[in-house]
Structure 1
Amino acid sequence: MNNNTEDLQVLKNTSALGRLIIKSVPKSIAKEMIIENHYSHKWCDGGFGKYNFGIFRAEEPDKCLGVAVYGYMKNPKAKIFTHPNPRAWMCELNRMWIDDSLGHNAESILIGASIRLLRKTDPDIVAVQSFADGRLGCGTIYKAANFRYYGFHHTRFLRNKRTGEITHEQILTDTTSSSGYLRANVAFLLGDFEIFVVKTYRYIYPLRKQFRFKGPEKPYPQYEKGETPVEWKRDTQKIKQNIIELLDKIAA
């Protein structure tokens, strides 16, 4: 593994965007840019940012205009691919944001160049996975970057009617995160949430020839975007019981 990512970079000459540099950036810079600018405004400290790459104009090599953040899958131990390398792992493009000033096609350039750098940085990475949020589209950018498409699943989200904050359903069922569980489920019981589902599209870019994903590859999807309102029927008595037990532990 090449841990000296600072000495790796890609120079890209483009007719429309000028001369660009893609290189490694510190996790602290990537995290700050994502929290401030990405539509989610969220960062997962447990899995995000093992490798982080920024995009710069060659004439301003210290002014980062976007980042691609690569880290671990939500469940790193999930057996969803095969490869003969016992250390093989599939990383995930967790977050990406690019300043609008860079113009059209900058996303594809950053993805392509950062994958080249990943390949050189960590030979045990055998593929890159990313998910397209159906609220924004179906992942046309990944098609342009030659990712393969492996279907979609539905993801449930909750929007706070008072604050507009979006919450993933997982926080409402994970009792190991006491404070998050309590806050989210009290809001649920108070009726503070609008609940909706979106399609989440899975794309994978293989880096090694012997990588095999366990699901079938599919034709690229037709373009669509949006969200669908739904009801979420839950056992409110069980929620109340969990809240009481967690409060007892916190107060003990």
Structure 2
Amino acid sequence: MKHPSLTIKEIPKNEAIQLIRYYHYSKIILKLCKYFLGIFSEKKLLGVIELGWGTQPLQTIRKLFPDNQLQTKDYLEIGKMCFLPELNRNQYFGSQALSALIQWLSTHTDCLFLYTLADGIEGKCGYVYKAVNFYYCGYFKTSVYRDQQTHEKIHPRSARLLLEENARFDNVEKKHWLTQDFCAYKGIEKINGPMFRYIYPLTKAGNQLSHMTVYQRRNYPKDKDLRFETRIAHRKYKEFSQQMFNKDVSFYNTQVVD
């Protein structure tokens, strides 16, 4: 069932973060945020979208279009898209919200592209992006940690204190990834899974660049493409079935990265 017409407008940062922290499975807000947008039906706030850039803004757009000297200003990335719980099962609401967002971006910005990721580790292939006709840009493998007792998902960006403890554990100055021995000691497992990349051209120029790439509006990923592996020894992994995370536990994770 389709929802009545939606509108997008900027809302205060604190209001958006409050809703994200309450309803979204990931509580981390990246530093490079530009817009906090509310999704409204009449005057009722139904969700929020946070737009900005990830940890490597320029590298992201250059990897997508290596033959063009595109800049960070040429795109925005969806950091968080969060709806009220009763709308998460509405198969039309997500595509309606994205369509309203695309219209807002085309009116209020000069961006060429909207970029986003579907979190395969959370079992998301990005069906909503297929519904809105995004280009599929392939996938890359990413890693997270999981506390084996509480099942809390620990994002590498939230593992600073663990990395410092791991460095002391190994009697070295610094660690960038948690080691297998330290994880075994702490009862933490490392899980690899896919992140699926999507772009949507917002202008004629963006559409022309998209047509010049190998990106497609077909052959979208499906559930069968959700493949996972867990570390069993140093640099050794085995495939395993998708594991669930306890989204109510936040012992390791930082709520907001300012």
TM-score, normalization by structure 2: 0.70
1:66 counterpart (34, 47, 57): 47
Residue 24 (structure 1) shift: 2.0
Q: Which runs of 5+ in 1 are unaligned?
A: 1-14, 235-252
Change (3 A) 1:202 1:16: closer
1:140 partner amino acid: Y
Query: What do you get for the CA RMSD once the two structures are aligned?
Result: 2.8
Q: Is structure 2 residue 98 aligned with structure 1 residue 111?
A: yes
Distance across 2 between alignment mates of 1:154 and 1:215? 21
Alignment-derived partner of residue 90 in structure 1: 75
For 1:168 and 1:34, the matched residues in 2 are separated by 17
CA contact (8 A) 1:127 1:204 kept: yes
- Of 113, 133, 144 in structure 2, the residue corresponding to residue 157 of structure 1 is 144
Look up the match of 1:227: 228
SS of alignment partner, residue 77 of structure 1: helix
What is the identity, as a one-letter code, of the residue corresponding to 1:97?
A: C
Name the aligned partner's letter for residue 155 of structure 1. T
Aligned to 1:136: 123
- How far did 1:87 drift? 7.3
What is the aligned partner in structure 1 of residue 36 from structure 2?
Answer: 52
Question: C-alpha separation between the residues in 2 aligned to 1:101 and 1:200?
Answer: 26
Task: Show CA shifts across 1:62-85 (max 9, x none).
Answer: x32211111113211212336677
Q: Contact conserved, 2:58 with 2:71, CA < 8 A, in 1? A: no
Report the number of matched residues.
209
Residue 45 of structure 2: SS of its match in structure 1? coil
Residues 197/85 of structure 1: CA separation in 2 closer, same or farther (3 Å cut): closer
Distance in 2 separating the partners of 1:230 and 1:113: 41
Partner of 1:238: none
Deviations along 1:17-53, one digit per CA (max 9) or x if unpaired, are: 2343332222221111112111112222x12x31122
Structure 2 unaligned spans of 5+: 170-177, 236-258
Do the aligned partners of residues 181 and 192 (structure 1) sit closer, same or farther apart at CA in structure 2, a change above 3 Å counting? same
The structure whose RCO (Cα within 8 Å, separation 6+) is larger is 2
Residue 36 of structure 1 is matched in structure 2 by 22
- Note if contact 1:147-1:203 (Cα within 8 Å) is conserved in structure 2: yes
Partner Cα distance (1:21, 1:139) in 2: 22
1:158 aligned counterpart, secondary structure: strand
Structure 2 match to 1:3? none
Partners of 1:111 and 1:146 in 2: how far apart?
A: 10
